[in-house]
Amino acid sequence: MFVAGTALFGALVAALDWVYKIGWLKISFVPPLTFLKFDALGIPMMLSYLLFGLLSGTMTSLVAWVSISFRNPFSGFMKFMAEFSTMIGVYIVLRTRSFTSVWLRTVGLISGALVRGIVMVIVNVLLLPIFTTTTQEFVLAWVHFFFIFNVAQGVISVVGGFLIYEAILLRLPSLKAN
């Protein structure tokens, strides 16, 4: 089940990535940070983690990295770091506890979004000036917007993942392993 589920979500992530790119379905963040784009690509990655565990979620995120890297290796790495850090944030809270507690899910959501925001601020400050034409001064001046964007995108990934996870469990209660 693990291998099939991970492969399914990996394929879904790769297909969605190309649909978003070809169909111009991503929503740009505020100018001058229009290179930051909102999408739902993190939802299947989070769902893979919730259904099959952290290894599955990590592998699904790696598939996104590879898929995006065909167009832009740096963007692929940044997407991997963002979604993986979101999963780690949720994992920190939910690793030993049941997913059924509404309180724990809320704390997991907050933790996932905040860990993503913090990690991506650090990664952007360190890597954007090296791998793009963006200056260090620009990144530092807009760092609060990098944080806001990543927290918002993290909320989209975690809430979307949890909602679909709940819908699946309602229809397939045998998957309730957590």
Is 50 exceeded by the pLDDT of residue 142? Answer: yes
Cα(164)–Cα(19) distance, integer angstroms: 20
Higher-confidence residue: 96 or 17? 17
Q: What b/e readout covers 12-41, taking b as 16+ CB neighbours within 10 angstroms?
A: bbbebbeebeeeeeeeebeeebeebbebeb
The per-residue pLDDT for 176 is: 60
Higher-confidence residue: 101 or 129? 129
How confident is the prediction for the chain on average, in pLDDT? Answer: 89
Cα(132)–Cα(126) distance, integer angstroms: 11
Q: What share of the chain has pLDDT > 70, as a percent?
A: 95
**Structural domains in the chain plus CATH codes:** 2-27+41-175 (1.10.1760.20)
Element holding 28 (H helix, E strand): strand 27-28
Per residue in 66-124, pLDDT (tens digit) is 999 999 999 999 999 999 999 999 999 888 666 667 777 788 889 999 999 999 999 99
In the chain, the amino acid numbered 127 is L
Read off the pLDDT band of 23 (50, 70, 90).
confident
Cα(65)–Cα(80) distance, integer angstroms: 5
pTM: 0.88
Helix, strand, or coil (residue 71): coil
